[in-house]
Amino acid sequence: MDQFLQQMVNGLSLGSIYALIALGYTMVYGIIKLINFAHGDIYMIGAYIGFAATTYVHLGFFPALILSMIVCAILGMIIERVAYKPLRNSSRITVLITAIGVSLLLEYSMMFFVGAEVRSYPKVLTNHLFHFGGVRVNMQQIYILVTAVALMILLQYIVTKTKTGKAMRAVSIDKDAAQLMGIRVDKTISITFAIGSAFAGAAGVLVGIYYNSIDPLMGMMPGLKAFVAAVFGGIGSIPGAMIGGLAIGIMETLVAGYGNSMYRDAAVFAFLILILILKPSGLLGKNEREKV
């Protein structure tokens, strides 16, 4: 029993990382229907900014986190402005290819400048250990889960209660109609990218501290899995991304712990295909009828 509970703790902490990335993913996809492949790489850049801030400038945890979020937000806006905005009326596959191009560009530019070697963070967070019976939980796991939940609540608040959030929802439903209503579509999309990227940056810093290992290609797999999480939760739904992320994390941990750890990635993708076939709108997503 202790072992099972420990596995749940492992799964939750892995899942909160996916959830953090998935939150940004689901926002961006919700508004411009683009699988932003570069999202996972913004997470990687965030991790490196946090690394530079803590290692070379000796900032503490929170200043480094904020700095990383700001830089990533700006980076996200630049990417949107330069690479995606000119293609707003192009076919989806064109934009998708561009996103893949941006993703490769970020990965390999980073590899060019910092090298392929893995880096590790200095100790910026205490790693106090708590025992609950036979189950061990450390401080960092709690930090990650709490940050993920806090950011989810913040995001949900922005989207449902603020004017910007209203604009976002309007743009995601019908861009042209939103424009006619006086909403500045470009600005709204820009803000969405900024927020989504800032979240990815935060995730990067947290992961850097938690696993103590960052590298230029670290964004690839988590990026894809976060997308799976977003789809599972219902794309465009913020609580959905959270639930999806945690579910994927737990599922992966259970496959690795009780099945064969070699099949954990395959299991995630098999699961994705299952959801897409059985319930393509995801857990909390809205079912959209296609109109002629």
Partner 1 sequence: MKKSLVLFLLLAMVVSLAGCSGSGDKNGGADANEIKIGINYELTGAVASYGESSVNGILMAFDEINAAGGINGMKIVPVQFDNKSEPAEATSLATRLMTQEGVVAALGPATSGNFMATIPVAMGNKVPIISASATADKGVTVDDKGNVNEYVFRLCFNDSFQGVTMANFAFNNLNATKAVIIQDNSSDYGKGLAENFKATFEAAGGTIVAHEGYVAKDKDFNAILTSIKGKDFDVIFIPGYYQEAGLIIKQARDQGIDAPILGADGFDSPVLLELAGAEALNDVYFSNHYSSIDEDPLVKEFIKAYKEKNGVEPNAFNALGYDLGMFIADAVERAGSADPEAIKDALAETKGFVGVTGTFDMGEDHNPIKSAVVIGLENGVQATSVKVDPN
Partner 2 sequence: MRVLSKKNIMILAGLILTFAIVYALRNFGILTSFHEITIAMVCINIILGVSLNLITGFTGQLSLGHAGFMAIGAYVCALINMELNSTFGFILGVLAGAIIAALVGVLIGIPTLRLKGDYLAIATLGMAEIIRVIFLNLEITNGAAGLNGIPRYTNWFWLFFFTVTTVVLISNFINSSHGRACISIREDEIAAESMGINTTQYKVIAFAIGAFFAGIAGALYSSYFYFLRPEIFGFLKSIDILIIVVLGGLGSITGSVIAGILIAVLTAALQSFAALRMIIYALLLIIIMLFRPQGIMGTKEITDLLNFSKRE
Q: Does 288 bind partner 2 (CB under 8 A)?
A: no
Q: Which of 90, 94, 109, 120 binds partner 1 (CB under 8 A)?
A: 120
Q: Does 204 bind partner 1 (CB under 8 A)?
A: no
Q: Does 226 bind partner 2 (CB under 8 A)?
A: no
213 binds, among partner 2, partner 1, none (CB under 5 to 8 A by kind): partner 1
Distance CA 279, CA 93 (A): 24
Q: Does 271 bind partner 1 (CB under 8 A)?
A: no
Span near partner 2 by CB under 8 A; candidates 150-158, 199-207, 237-245, 270-278: 270-278
Other residues' Cβ atoms within 10 Å of the Cβ of residue 5 = 14
CA distances from 83 to 136, 172, 183, 197 (A): 45, 19, 22, 15
Q: Does 252 bind partner 2 (CB under 8 A)?
A: no
Cβ-Cβ contacts under 8 Å for 229 (sequence gap 6 or more): 15, 18, 19, 21, 22, 25, 241, 244, 245, 247, 248
Q: Does 55 bind partner 1 (CB under 8 A)?
A: no
129 binds, among partner 1, partner 2, none (CB under 5 to 8 A by kind): partner 1
Mark residues 135-154: x for contact with partner 1 by CB under 8 A, - for none.
-x-x----------------
Helix axis angle, 2-32 to 220-233, nearest 10° = 80
Query: Which tokens sit at 130?
Result: 């708590």
Q: Nearest Cα to 204, choosing from 9, 10, 17?
A: 17
Distance CA 186, CA 77 (A): 11
Q: Does 266 bind partner 1 (CB under 8 A)?
A: no
Mark residues 6-35: x for contact with partner 1 by CB under 8 A, - for none.
xx--xx-xx---------------------
Number of residues that bind partner 2 (CB under 8 A): 46
Distance CA 79, CA 28 (A): 13
Q: Does 111 bind partner 2 (CB under 8 A)?
A: yes
Nearest approach in angstroms of CB 246 to partner 1 is: 14
